[in-house]
């Protein structure tokens, strides 16, 4: 729905004319929602505010967007910001000359001040998804997860960005590559952070269920096997794999679902995890599967995956081994072996689902073939 533009000034002298114009613009009924664009609005009187309440009553769903700070103050002081949906105009910021401190699948992170960073999202990322991540970040912080505090969504040129408070931070990759002993220290501390996340129980319906998502990803595995393009899984194997996923315990344990080192910052002596748009619930095996993917499965097929993480291939492999060892420390060796096997299998399912649509990626076919092969071999053990 294209927002309807408001006038630059709405007061008792012209409010009736503006309301009449809006109503005549929608002779067959108001859209849901009715969106009013206040980009040029510099003043609104009490008469204008009452007019908006009439429109809210008539539509049941009114949204006023791009409200500048002066006008937003009027909505707040009068209490109308609690009666209507009102969105402030986004401020424009520049990243010119700002150092890049991280790069991921959804955007690039820049430091814009000693205690402030901005995550600039890639073109095409929806504002709805960005707002969702902002709210999830706040939720995570309130629930005790060490994470950056988001406080503003901004424009960076033609792209969106979220501004976070992040004191004295550097990337986990930089920390690891400084010296070999940092890798083991990072593995130990990142497992402590992961276990902290897994210690949180989430109210039912608050977040997506990862097991449900995994079962949906199984459709890609079936399609790939049925195509025969990269080999074919033995008869009945997909059904057994589907059942393996279904047999995974149902829990309301918090998962990050993408907890690799690209999403972790070192802030002083503390590790902080970012990119909260993937938060969900489920068994820890799903987070372990993602870590195995990040540190071994992907890099073993395409060394560029290790370069994406910002570390070398040997460091990626060692980080995988240390992370799994620390997380599973104290469990029976047979249980450890079975957990790693399932993590690898579930990781391959996720990779196949992710890679299937990426027809232009050079390593795609090699990755799909390898993952299908690994699933067959691991399920045969």
pLDDT over 80 at 169, yes or no: no
254 contacts: CB under 8 Å, gap ≥ 6: 143, 145, 197, 198, 200, 201, 202, 207, 279, 281
106: helix, strand or coil: coil
DSSP 253: B
Q: What is the mean pLDDT of residues 181-208?
A: 95
pLDDT over 70 at 149, yes or no: yes
User: What is residue 198's predicted lDDT score, i.e. its pLDDT?
Assistant: 98
pLDDT over 80 at 1, yes or no: no
pLDDT over 90 at 324, yes or no: yes
pLDDT over 70 at 325, yes or no: yes
**Tokens (6 digits) for 278:** 């993937």
pLDDT in tens, 223-276: 999 999 888 899 899 999 999 999 999 999 999 999 999 899 898 888 999 888
pLDDT in tens, 370-381: 999 999 999 998
pLDDT over 90 at 98, yes or no: yes
**Tokens (6 digits) for 275:** 């990119």
Mind giving me the DSSP string for 285-303?
HHHHHHHHIIIIIHHHH-T
Q: Are 189 and 327 in contact (CB under 8 A)?
A: no
CB atoms within 10 A of CB 99: 10
Distance in angstroms (rounded) separating the CA atoms of residues 345 and 352: 11
Distance in angstroms (rounded) separating the CA atoms of residues 69 and 80: 14
User: What is residue 227's predicted lDDT score, i.e. its pLDDT?
Assistant: 93
User: What is residue 151's predicted lDDT score, i.e. its pLDDT?
Assistant: 84
pLDDT over 90 at 109, yes or no: no
pLDDT in tens, 19-74: 999 999 999 999 999 999 999 999 999 999 999 999 999 999 999 999 998 999 99
**Tokens (6 digits) for 73:** 């103050």
User: Which domains are seen in the chain, by residue range?
Assistant: 4-88 (3.30.750.24), 100-167 (3.30.200.20), 170-380 (3.90.1200.10)
Mind giving me the DSSP string for 191-250?
HHHHHHHHT-B--TTSS-BHHHHHHHHHHHHHHHHHH-BTB-PPTTHHHHHHHHHHTSPP
Q: What's the mean per-residue pLDDT of the chain?
A: 92
Q: How confident is the model at residue 167 (pLDDT cuts 50, 70, 90)?
A: low
Distance in angstroms (rounded) separating the CA atoms of residues 33 and 1: 8
Apex CA 58: angle with CA 33 and CA 131, to 5°?
25
Per DSSP, which regions of the chain are E strands? 4-5, 9-10, 34-37, 43-44, 62-67, 85-88, 100-103, 107-113, 116-121, 149-156, 159-165, 169-171, 254-255, 264-267, 270-273, 280-281
pLDDT over 90 at 165, yes or no: no
Distance in angstroms (rounded) separating the CA atoms of residues 349 and 230: 15
75: left (phi over 0), alpha (psi -120 to 50) or beta: alpha
Distance in angstroms (rounded) separating the CA atoms of residues 307 and 346: 23
């Amino acid at each position: 729905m294209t927002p309807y533009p408001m006038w630059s000034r709405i007061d008792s002298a012209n409010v009736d004319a503006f309301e009449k114009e809006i109503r005549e613009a929608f002779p067959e009924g108001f859209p849901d929602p009715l969106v009013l664009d206040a980009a040029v609005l510099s003043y609104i009187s009490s008469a204008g505010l009452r007019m908006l309440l009439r429109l809210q009553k008539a539509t049941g769903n009114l949204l006023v967007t791009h409200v500048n700070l002066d006008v937003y103050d009027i909505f707040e002081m009068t209490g109308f910001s609690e009666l209507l949906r009102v969105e402030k105009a986004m401020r424009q910021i520049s990243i010119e000359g700002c150092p890049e401190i991280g790069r991921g699948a959804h955007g690039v992170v820049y430091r814009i001040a000693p205690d402030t960073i901005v995550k600039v999202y890639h073109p095409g990322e929806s504002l709805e998804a960005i707002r969702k991540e902002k709210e999830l970040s706040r939720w995570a912080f309130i629930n005790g997860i060490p994470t950056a505090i988001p406080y503003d969504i901004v424009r960076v040129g033609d792209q969106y960005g979220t501004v976070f408070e992040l004191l004295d931070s550097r990337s986990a990759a930089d920390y690891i590559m400084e010296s070999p002993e940092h890798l083991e220290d990072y593995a130990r501390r990142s497992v402590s952070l992961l276990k902290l996340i897994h210690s949180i129980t989430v109210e039912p319906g608050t977040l997506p269920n990862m097991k449900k998502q995994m079962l949906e990803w199984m459709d890609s595995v079936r399609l790939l096997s049925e195509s025969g393009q990269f080999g074919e899984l033995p008869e009945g194997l997909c059904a057994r794999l589907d059942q393996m996923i279904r047999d995974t315990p149902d829990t309301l344990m918090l998962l990050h679902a993408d907890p690799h080192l690209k999403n972790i910052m070192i802030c002083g002596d503390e590790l902080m995890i970012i990119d909260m748009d993937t938060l969900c619930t489920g068994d820890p095996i799903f987070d372990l599967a993602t870590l195995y993917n990040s540190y071994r499965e992907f890099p073993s097929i395409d060394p560029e995956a290790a370069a994406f993480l910002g570390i070398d291939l040997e460091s990626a492999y060692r980080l995988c081994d240390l992370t799994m060892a620390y997380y599973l420390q104290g469990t029976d060796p047979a249980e450890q072996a079975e957990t790693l096997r399932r993590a690898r299998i579930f990781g391959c399912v996720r990779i196949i689902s992710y890679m299937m649509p990426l027809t232009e990626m050079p390593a795609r076919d090699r990755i799909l073939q390898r993952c299908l092969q690994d699933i067959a071999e691991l399920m045969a053990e």
